[in-house]
């Protein structure tokens, strides 16, 4: 069976913890024999004057439709995502500020439709499985109906009430209940919430849980645990309730002064870690809180084997994979009334405690219950219950059955021959264009930190071409030309080449012969985009391998339009953006090892 997964939530270099549950499901079904491919997304924002944005949107979309092909985009990253599964980072040209559901779906559909239409010519999926309804699921279901491919959509988003507050969004979402698509929820609480929002019977929405990697987490010896350590693993964004957790710990330490907290996870927004450090200091618990950043799965398992309580402060959670992993490790959970996590605790037989309110005091009370080990089931029994219900084997079997049922509802289309699509992995090296090293942006402030977030080793190989600093802006660091900013710790390692400022001149005036001659020979100064193109041409001094053009990566939509209009014999718009670049580098580095 061939399954194409469509998910903007999928592990990437700039979000290694994003969508790990999707990667786990893809990996589990691939290990069970599914021929799997993944399409994820990378935003390319439209910028510039408001009156020019429609033209930029159309131009950038057309440019990517020409180059964003399966042969160019499929890569097998070595260190992220489902092992051995090819993934595409499809550029989606997005309009800033266009947050309504219709615009969001339209932007994703404009990228997904031509790509999948090309894909089915050589590799036709039996099922498309999209994750989250808006925009992934609706865009995938639209393409699936057009091509005669059944689509499953699993809803994971904890923000569905906000997303479906607009009646127009509800109408779009209802299309997932029409023939050709099957709407699923990741847990019974989410199924109930969706049914109420869509005003349909609860039984019309199926439940397909995330698989939890029970092989990676085993019950640890209680002797090895720190009896006072609280652990959180996940994003450190404000939406996860970290402020409530810190206040709960502060209250708890007034009664249990040896309690301390370890936070494992990355920032959702720049400055999250600094915000939580400042709050911890303000609350008087700065010396009792450690922030570790993202850790890989073995390191997370080791952290779970050491702690005494797993704390889950999120006010809304659709499933709670990390809570399930904690219970599999013999680590009991204290949680707010978030929906998915209380369901996980209940599924385990009660290996944890749920706060009886939503404030810090209630969470502190739940933590104390767990610290005192008022638990209704043993660690071993709780683990066994979760393995049976949501372990990898159990969920994989349910998923494969769902795929078979869904595929049976639609007559099979023409079976395209197997194709490699030029993917690169440590096991398979198919020649591709050389790895791009030139990045182009028409905007500075956001492009620099994005490039600074590239993996070590790759970041040093690239050159970022940007416009000049605006008049009155911070001066550049004289040592290497990189713009410094306290919130961009790696910005000083980015090699930046600036375009010259655009000059604003008018034709010479006058009636005399000299003035007329000057006016006849006068050439208008280069525009900002033309100055940028000059620098790109100078940076790309030599032709690519074999004398062909070199790919350059656009970091925004105006840059994509600019590159697509340059001399194609020397410069060519790359088919993907930074996530695609990082995946290719990751695969090629693994091949060299």
Residue 426's pLDDT is: 45
Residue 577's pLDDT is: 96
Residue 484's pLDDT is: 40
- Which CATH number does the domain 222-386 belong to among 3.40.190.10, 3.40.50.300, 3.40.50.2000, 3.30.70.20? 3.40.50.2000
Residue 413's pLDDT is: 64
Where is pLDDT greater, at 413 or 256?
256
Using the CB atoms, write b or e for 266-302: b if 16+ within 10 Å: bbbeeebeeebeebbeebebeebbebeebbeeeebbe
Where is pLDDT greater, at 422 or 322?
322
Number of H helices, E strands in the chain: 21, 18
Residue 504's pLDDT is: 72
| Residue 461 neighbours by CB distance under 10 Å | 13
Digit-coded pLDDT (tens) for 294-346:
898 899 999 999 999 999 999 999 999 999 999 999 999 999 999 999 999 99
Q: What angle do CA 572, 450, 537 make, to 5 degrees?
A: 30
**Contact assessment for residue 160 and residue 197, using Cβ atoms and an 8 Å cutoff:** yes
pTM value? 0.88
What's the whole-number mean pLDDT along residues 423-436? Answer: 63
Q: What angle do CA 282, 287, 292 make, to 5 degrees?
A: 105
Digit-coded pLDDT (tens) for 463-487:
999 999 875 555 443 333 334 443 3
**Contact assessment for residue 437 and residue 461, using Cβ atoms and an 8 Å cutoff:** yes
Q: What does R_g of the chain's alpha carbons equal in angstroms?
A: 26
**Contact assessment for residue 386 and residue 321, using Cβ atoms and an 8 Å cutoff:** no
pLDDT for residue 354 is more than 50: yes
Digit-coded pLDDT (tens) for 367-402:
999 999 999 999 999 999 999 999 999 999 999 999
Residue 95's pLDDT is: 85
Q: What angle do CA 38, 171, 169 make, to 5 degrees?
A: 65
Domain boundaries, the chain: 2-211+392-408, 222-386, 438-573
Omega before 135 within 30 of 0, i.e. cis:
yes
Residue-averaged pLDDT of the chain: 90
- Pairing mode, if any, of strands 463-466 and 438-440? parallel
What's the whole-number mean pLDDT along residues 349-357? Answer: 96
Using H for helix, E for strand and C for coil, what is the string for 375-437? CCCCHHHHHHHHHHHHEHHHHHHHHHHHHHHHHHCCCCCCCCCCCCCCCECCCCECCCCCCCC
Where is pLDDT greater, at 410 or 31?
31
What's the whole-number mean pLDDT along residues 492-505? Answer: 83
What's the whole-number mean pLDDT along residues 26-49? Answer: 96
Q: What percent of the chain has pLDDT over 90?
A: 75
Type and span of the H or E element at 590: helix 578-592
> Phi and psi dihedrals of 310, rounded to 5?
-95, 120
Residue 226's pLDDT is: 97
Type and span of the H or E element at 37: strand 35-45
Domains 2-211+392-408 and 222-386 belong to one CATH topology: yes
Digit-coded pLDDT (tens) for 150-199:
999 999 998 899 999 999 999 999 999 999 999 999 999 999 999 999 99
C-alpha dist (Å) from residue 7 to 135, 191, 323? 9, 19, 22
Quick one: the chain helix, strand, coil %, rounded to 5? 45, 15, 40
Using alpha carbons, select from 421, 433, 494, 457 the residue that is nearest to residue 582: 457
Residue 229, classified by CB atoms within 10 Å of its CB into exposed (0-12), middle (13-18) or buried (19+), is middle
What's the whole-number mean pLDDT along residues 60-71? Answer: 97
Residue 475's pLDDT is: 43
pLDDT for residue 48 is more than 60: yes
- Which CATH number does the domain 2-211+392-408 belong to among 3.40.50.2000, 3.30.70.20, 1.10.3470.10, 3.50.50.60? 3.40.50.2000
Using alpha carbons, select from 524, 523, 472, 469 the residue that is nearest to residue 497: 469
Type and span of the H or E element at 131: strand 127-131
DSSP track, 270-316:
TTHHHHHHHHHHHTT-GGGEEEEE---HHHHHHHHHH-SEEEE--S-
Digit-coded pLDDT (tens) for 73-120:
999 999 999 999 999 999 999 988 767 899 999 999 999 999 999 999
Q: How confident is the model at residue 547 (pLDDT cuts 50, 70, 90)?
A: low
pLDDT for residue 6 is more than 90: yes
Residue 480's pLDDT is: 38
3-state secondary structure (DSSP) of residue 260: strand
Using alpha carbons, select from 352, 371, 246, 243 the residue that is nearest to residue 307: 371
DSSP H helices, 120-159, are 138-147
- Pairing mode, if any, of strands 309-312 and 333-335? parallel
């Amino acid at each position: 069976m061939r399954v194409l997964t469509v998910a903007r939530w999928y592990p990437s270099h700039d979000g290694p913890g994003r969508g790990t549950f999707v990667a786990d499901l893809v990996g589990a079904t691939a290990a069970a024999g599914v021929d799997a491919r993944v399409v994820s997304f990378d935003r390319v924002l439209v910028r510039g004057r408001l009156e020019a944005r429609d033209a930029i949107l159309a131009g950038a979309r057309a440019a990517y439709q020409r180059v964003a092909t399966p042969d160019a985009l499929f890569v097998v990253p070595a260190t992220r995502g489902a092992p051995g599964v090819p993934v595409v980072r499809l550029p989606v040209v997005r309009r800033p500020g266009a947050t309504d559901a219709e615009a969001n779906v339209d932007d994703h559909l404009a990228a997904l439709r031509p790509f999948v239409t090309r894909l089915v010519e050589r590799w036709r999926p039996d099922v498309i499985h999209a994750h989250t309804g808006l925009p992934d699921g609706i865009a995938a279901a639209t393409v699936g109906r057009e091509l005669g491919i059944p689509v499953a959509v699993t809803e994971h988003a904890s923000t569905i009430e906000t997303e479906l507050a607009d009646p127009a969004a509800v109408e779009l979402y209802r299309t997932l209940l029409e023939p050709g698509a099957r709407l699923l929820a990741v847990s019974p609480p989410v199924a109930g919430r969706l049914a109420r929002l869509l005003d349909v019977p609860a039984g019309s929405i199926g439940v397909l849980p995330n698989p939890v990697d029970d092989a990676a987490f085993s019950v640890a010896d209680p002797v090895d645990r720190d009896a006072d350590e609280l652990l959180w693993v996940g994003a450190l964004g404000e939406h996860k309730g970290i402020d409530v957790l810190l206040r709960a710990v502060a209250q708890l330490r007034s009664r249990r002064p040896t309690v301390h907290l370890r936070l494992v996870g990355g920032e959702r927004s720049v400055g999250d870690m600094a915000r939580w450090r400042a709050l911890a200091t303000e609350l008087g618990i700065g010396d009792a809180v450690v922030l570790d950043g993202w850790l890989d799965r073995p390191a997370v398992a080791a952290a779970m084997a050491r702690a005494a309580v797993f704390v889950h402060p999120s006010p809304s959670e659709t499933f709670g994979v990390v809570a399930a992993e904690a219970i599999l490790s013999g680590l009991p959970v204290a949680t707010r009334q978030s929906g998915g996590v209380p369901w996980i605790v209940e599924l385990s037989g009660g290996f944890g405690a749920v706060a009886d309110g939503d404030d810090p005091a209630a969470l502190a009370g739940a933590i104390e219950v767990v610290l005192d080990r008022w638990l209704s089931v043993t660690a071993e029994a709780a683990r066994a219950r979760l393995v049976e219900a949501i372990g990898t084997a159990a969920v994989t079997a349910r998923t494969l059955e769902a795929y078979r049922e869904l595929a049976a509802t639609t007559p099979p289309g023409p079976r395209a021959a197997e194709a490699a699509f030029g993917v690169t992995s440590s096991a398979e090296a198919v020649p591709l264009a050389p790895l791009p090293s030139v990045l182009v942006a028409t905007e500075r402030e956001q492009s620099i930190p994005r490039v600074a977030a590239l993996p070590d080793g790759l970041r040093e190989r690239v050159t970022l071409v940007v416009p000049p600093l605006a008049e009155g802006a911070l001066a550049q660091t004289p040592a290497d030309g990189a713009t410094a900013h306290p919130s961009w710790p790696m910005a000083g390692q980015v090699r930046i080449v600036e375009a010259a400022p655009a000059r604003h001149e008018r034709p010479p005036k006058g009636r005399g012969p000299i003035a007329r001659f000057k006016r006849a020979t006068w050439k208008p100064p280069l525009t900002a985009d033309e100055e940028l193109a000059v620098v790109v041409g100078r940076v790309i001094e030599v032709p690519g391998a074999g004398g062909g053009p070199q790919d350059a990566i656009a970091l925004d939509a105006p840059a994509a339009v600019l590159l697509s209009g340059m001399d194609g014999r020397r410069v060519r718009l790359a088919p993907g953006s930074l996530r695609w670049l990082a995946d290719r580098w990751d695969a090629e580095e693994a091949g060299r090892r």
